[in-house]
Amino acid sequence: MRKLAYSRISHNHSYKKSLDYVLKGPGHDGGERNLMVFGIGLKDESVESYYDQFESLMKRKTNAKNLNETRTAIVSFSTTELDPDDQISQYIAAQIAIDISRRGYDGFPCLVAIQNDNLGHKLHMHMIYANVHCETGKGFTDLQTRHNYLRCVTDEVCKKYITPDAGNKTHERRNQNYRGMLERNEKIKRQNETLPPEQQKPLKYIWREDVKERVLKAMQGIKSYKDFSDNLKRNGVRVEFCETRTEGQFFRYILEDTSGFNGNIPNINLHVRSYRLGHEYNIGAVDAEIEKNNSGIIMPDAIEPTSSQSSRQETQESVMPPAQIRDETGSTSLSTSSPIYHGDEDVESPRPRRHSHKTRGKVGTPVQEKSAQVTSSSPKRNLPRREQHDEIIRMVNILNEDAENLQKESSEDIILFEARPKKRNPRRS
């Protein structure tokens, strides 16, 4: 299920910087900064300026450790959800901001600025909350500072006003520093349009944008994952296949060609996950390109199918990228030398954990005889954990059935398990 609207929440130590960001300066696109500005729990600016009101609120703080003066929530809408150029959509966004404040952050004064000046020309709003409750003087609770809380509140409110975007494409995730670099490059581009070539300024090198260009170039004409990996390697990028519980399967792109930094290589990890770049760079896009170039059949020639896999491939029209055995870092490289685990091959399983002396028991004579008979069917160490567990359960059921039969034939009770007596500590006696 797609989440309604994009949202995030951040903090700031200075309310002046938060207010300056939304109230002063031109828009990012060079146009008007704000479409609408109003306060929730604040007086109109014609009566008292927002700066003075926030300053008086900071004096009500009851916790000296509350160093964050403001909390800023940003909610953005796609063009199919709210039209950035429609005045009615702007009023709908204003009503959504009011309901979010009442539902999730009641009692915290808020300044709302509705804008459409970002690079994507999307209608969005900045909600700057004074981190001081108007009655108690306390700041946000730990729950209220979390993005999941804001997202749930936003989703519940937006359901009443807008229809969610039906698209299932993931968009690029950008932090504030990354967005700032993109905006500066866009500004330089606009300035260079009116300048002769010899006076034009060079763009700032952004390594993630460089990786995106190299990945799209490596996708052209590929017929297998090996082609994709080899093309990226020739373009100075190494690719790894990864999988996590929350994000599922994805690629990790590592930039190895650092010539774009001109010797000033930053002390950072030059790798990025594919889902952070957007849907055009994820596994689905690579699958679509391979399928298009192979007439609907994906044949990963970098993978040599095993005996158990070859029978399964006869009935499959396409093969998704296999989940390879991960190393200690949680990632694997798309190479032919890496062993592949498809879920049903025999792999080495760890030894079962030993029980403590309190739960370990002695096996009686009848059970020992039966154990000698079923030794050949004992669980194999090289089975997957699930099959090993099923095998152990099967053996236990066999032993219990035989013990019940022997107990019916004998008048004496057969002790299957006998708890060991607890050893007393001589120091305590």
> Cα–Cα distance between 73 and 113 in angstroms, integer?
11
> pLDDT tens string for the chain (429 positions)?
445 567 788 888 899 988 988 888 776 666 777 899 999 999 887 778 899 999 999 988 888 778 899 999 999 888 888 888 888 999 999 999 999 999 999 999 999 999 987 667 788 999 999 999 988 999 999 999 998 899 889 988 988 898 866 554 555 566 667 777 887 888 888 888 888 888 888 888 888 889 999 999 999 989 899 999 999 999 999 999 898 887 788 999 999 998 888 888 888 889 989 888 888 888 888 988 888 888 645 444 443 333 434 433 443 433 344 444 344 444 444 443 333 334 444 434 444 444 444 444 444 444 443 333 434 444 444 555 556 666 667 776 777 776 667 666 654 444 444 444 555 555 554
Q: Could you tell me the pTM of the whole model?
A: 0.47
**253: Cβ contacts below 8 Å, ≥ 6 apart:** 211, 215, 232, 237, 238, 239, 271, 272, 273, 274, 277, 281
**257: Cβ contacts below 8 Å, ≥ 6 apart:** 235, 236, 237
Beta-bridged to residue 363, according to DSSP, are 417
- Quote the DSSP letter at residue 27: -
What is the per-residue DSSP string for 103-121?
HHSTTS-EEEEEE--STT-
Radius of gyration in angstroms for the set of CA atoms belonging to the chain, rounded to a whole number: 32
Beta-bridged to residue 72, according to DSSP, are 10, 128
> Cα–Cα distance between 380 and 349 in angstroms, integer?
9
The answer to whether the CB of 275 falls within 8 A of the CB of 247 is yes
For helices 283-293 and 207-219, what crossing angle results, to 10°? 20
Per DSSP (E only), the strands in 221-326 are: 237-244, 248-255, 271-273
Beta-bridged to residue 332, according to DSSP, are 241
> What would you measure as the largest C-alpha separation in the chain, in angstroms?
107
**264: Cβ contacts below 8 Å, ≥ 6 apart:** none
Is the Cα torsion angle 35, 41, 42, 44 positive or negative in sign? Answer: positive
> Cα–Cα distance between 224 and 291 in angstroms, integer?
9
Measured in degrees and rounded to the nearest 5, phi and psi for residue 244 equal -130, 165
